[in-house]
Chain A
Amino acid sequence: MTLYDKYASLIPVLLIYAVLFAIGISFPGMWQPVAFIMFYITLGQAFNIFLGLTGYVDFGYVAFLALGAYGMAIAVDSLGGANLGYGIILVGLILAILMASILSVAVGAVALRLRGAYFAIATIGVNEGFRYFVEGARLWGGSEGIIISGDMRNIFGRETANLISTFVSDILVFIIAILAAIMTILIMNRRMGYALMAVREDEDAAKVMGINVTKYKVMAFITSASFAGLIGASAWTLKMTYVFPSDVFLITYTVEAIVIVMLGGAGTLLGPVIGGLIYGILKYYLSITLPGFQLLILAPLLIVIVVAFPDGVVGAVRRKVTGSARKYLR
């Protein structure tokens, strides 16, 4: 494989991002749906780094999103008077990564010793346990949460604060999506990617071959969790300007991430983008035409995908395509 072949699959992904961005800024009223779709693409990209590459299901994935959201809220809330200007957002993002990755190290060290069903059960336990700890021990405002809209107005002024919540936060999501795509392809093309592929196929065989299975699993877990933290910080806290435990620990986001990854094709670079695109468009228009029915439609969809198309859209198309076009569909 030439260098171009190795990274060719990045081209369709970045092309889709560029087209979405262009649509969003050139047509009036389209920025909001584009940002909405982009959120799901990015969520899928981030989750795919773990679920797609390792084949482990983390039912508590939303906890990392939540911690990222808290990271940003805590930064703005406690350093609001420090006159950092836009620096506060940077501090918030760093804190978000830090908190999400610390939790992922802790969870990974415990849960990644377990496999399959045991791992899935443990991750549900972590998410719920953590949420009840925040509420029960009255950590970070307990169930009252943290509200930063006032702080944001004090730091940036009303207009800039508005701009941050309606535009800058979405731009950040775009940047995260690009970074996540690059990170995914880097992992896939390196030793880590091949090691994880071996883990996905047969973990015991991989172990016998001398692959440090745990190390690569934990690395993928931390990477995936850090991206989730970034998404939580920008797409949740900066956009909504509040964080409540009952909202950010909602299992729905985990389900959505799973559906997106499975729909597009787990373990492929393009998969979560296609999955996010389909899911985002579907959900956006369903929430307008049939508000409140998203999950009622999603759940059977997920069952159908699992039973009939376990490889997702990209996996199914890739099997049909031969020759040089295949390299774009990794």
Chain B
Amino acid sequence: MPFFEQLAGNLVYGAILGSVYGLSTMGLSLIFGVLRIVNVGHGPFIMLGAFTAFWMFTLFGIAPVASISVALVLGLALGFVIFFAVIRRLINAPELSTLLATFAIGIFLEEVAKFIWGPDHRGYSWDIGNIDLGITLIPYSKILAFVSSIVIAYLLYMWFQKTKLGAAVRAVVEDSEGAAACGINVGRIYALSFAIGIGLTVASGVLVTLFVPVGINPYMGHEYTLKAFVIAVLGGLASPWGAFYAGFIFGLIENGSYTLLGTIPGVEPFSLTRFVAFSLLLVILLIKPTGLLGGESK
């Protein structure tokens, strides 16, 4: 049965892609969980990571997996700058303000990127061979991305669970006033969490480049903002771990429905797959806004 073979192959690919989706959404969920701010300009940070990987590779020949640390540091620095320049002033402002501000930051990053690098698509190929799974060929580069995502997510998890600072972040998520009463500098935790969230997002952009068939450009982030929303909502919006698992689910759903929709004549499966994703988003928001994987509401 070639159809089932194709479906199985696409699902394997979906799980691998899903790990990167999960990683790319963790920053969004972390920022929402700690600061109660939805970073509507999420995608452009992924774009910055993608350009980091591109330039590190084309200028210095550094493999994308090694660029992750560069992107992480870059993202952390950027996160701190944005926090102290803009976000800090909006902590107690109405939700409208933070939505508009993060949105504007995202557009600003895109436009700066377009100004510097131009609007065209760029790409690089990092070919280190394939592994034959019997049903499909998977490039080693993608396997490495898969492993890196899991390692980063695990390291973050350990940092949260085992360090004092991680515990402080968890305390602020639980109850920021209570945490402040216990002597935790909540403002500093906000800054740190925002920076880590942005750092993670930029770092995930490096891995995203291994999955974009048409190359990268300044506006590529848009698509990932939307996917990240679907994934974050799927995972409960406020939980980075929920987001990581939801990334896998989303990858499977996306690739599975693409294969199924491809069998219907007269439609464009690529666009319809996205339609399916957004319908999923609305359905989850309606029936279980706290996410399929549990998690707190509000």
Residue among A113, A114, A121 having the largest count of chain B Cβ atoms under 10 Å: A121
Residue among A113, A132, A137 having the largest count of chain B Cβ atoms under 10 Å: A132
Of the 9-residue stretches B46-54, B156-164, B196-204, B277-285, which lies at the interface with chain A? Answer: B277-285
Query: Which B residues are CB-close (under 8 A) to A129?
Result: 274-275, 277-279, 281-282
Tell me whether A121 and B229 are in contact (CB under 8 A): yes
**Interface residues of chain B: helix, strand, loop or mixed (majority):** helix
Of the 9-residue stretches B6-14, B87-95, B172-180, B248-256, which lies at the interface with chain A? Answer: B87-95
Expressed in whole angstroms, the Cα–Cα distance for A77 and B128 within the complex equals 53
B107 on interface, CB distance cutoff 8 Å: yes
Tell me whether A118 and B267 are in contact (CB under 8 A): no
Tell me whether A310 and B104 are in contact (CB under 8 A): no
Tell me whether A296 and B108 are in contact (CB under 8 A): yes
Which residue of A113, A116, A122, A306 is within 8 Å of B104 (Cβ)?
A306
B272 on interface, CB distance cutoff 8 Å: yes
Expressed in whole angstroms, the Cα–Cα distance for A34 and B55 within the complex equals 45
Tell me whether A299 and B105 are in contact (CB under 8 A): yes
Expressed in whole angstroms, the Cα–Cα distance for A148 and B277 within the complex equals 32
Query: Which A residues are CB-close (under 8 A) to B267?
Result: 136-138
Query: Which A residues are CB-close (under 8 A) to B285?
Result: 110-111, 114, 118, 121-122, 125
Tell me whether B289 and A114 are in contact (CB under 8 A): yes
Residues of B near any A CB (own CB < 8 A): 32, 38, 40, 86, 89-90, 93-97, 99-101, 103-105, 107-108, 110-112, 114-115, 222, 225-226, 229-230, 233, 237, 266-275, 277-279, 281-282, 285-286, 289
Residue among A124, A133, A307 having the largest count of chain B Cβ atoms under 10 Å: A307
Which residue of B97, B111, B112, B277 is within 8 Å of A306 (Cβ)?
B97
Query: Which A residues are CB-close (under 8 A) to B97?
Result: 306-307, 310
Residue among A129, A142, A300 having the largest count of chain B Cβ atoms under 10 Å: A129
**Chain A contact residues (Cβ within 8 angstroms of B): what range?**
35 or more
A295 on interface, CB distance cutoff 8 Å: yes
Q: Which residue of B lies closest to A310 (CB)?
A: B97
Expressed in whole angstroms, the Cα–Cα distance for A111 and B283 within the complex equals 10
Expressed in whole angstroms, the Cα–Cα distance for A307 and B94 within the complex equals 11
Q: For the complex of A and B, list the 9 residue pairs with the smallest distance between their C-beta atoms, beginning with the closest.
A: A129-B278, A136-B271, A136-B272, A299-B108, A296-B111, A302-B104, A117-B38, A135-B271, A132-B274
A298 on interface, CB distance cutoff 8 Å: yes
Which residue of A120, A132, A136, A303 is within 8 Å of B101 (Cβ)?
A303
Expressed in whole angstroms, the Cα–Cα distance for A258 and B102 within the complex equals 13
CB distance from B270 to the nearest CB of A (A): 7
CB distance from A206 to the nearest CB of B (A): 15
Tell me whether B89 and A307 are in contact (CB under 8 A): yes
Query: Which B residues are CB-close (under 8 A) to A133?
Result: 271-272, 275
Write the A130-174 contact mask toward B (1 if CB under 8 angstroms, else 0).
Answer: 001101111000110000000000000000000000000000000
Tell me whether A310 and B93 are in contact (CB under 8 A): yes
Q: Which residue of A lies closest to B87 (CB)?
A: A307
Tell me whether B104 and A138 are in contact (CB under 8 A): no
Scan residues 254-286 of chain A and give those whose CB is less than 8 A from a CB of chain B.
255, 258, 262
Tell me whether B272 and A296 are in contact (CB under 8 A): no
Q: Which residue of B lies closest to A295 (CB)?
A: B111
Which residue of B94, B229, B237, B273 is within 8 Å of A125 (Cβ)?
B229
Which residue of A111, A126, A138 is within 8 Å of B278 (Cβ)?
A126
Tell me whether B38 and A121 are in contact (CB under 8 A): yes
Expressed in whole angstroms, the Cα–Cα distance for A129 and B229 within the complex equals 13
Write the A16-49 contact mask toward B (1 if CB under 8 angstroms, else 0).
Answer: 0000000000000000000000000000000000
Which residue of B99, B266, B271 is within 8 Å of A117 (Cβ)?
B99
A80 on interface, CB distance cutoff 8 Å: no
Q: Which residue of B lies closest to A120 (CB)?
A: B99
A57 on interface, CB distance cutoff 8 Å: yes
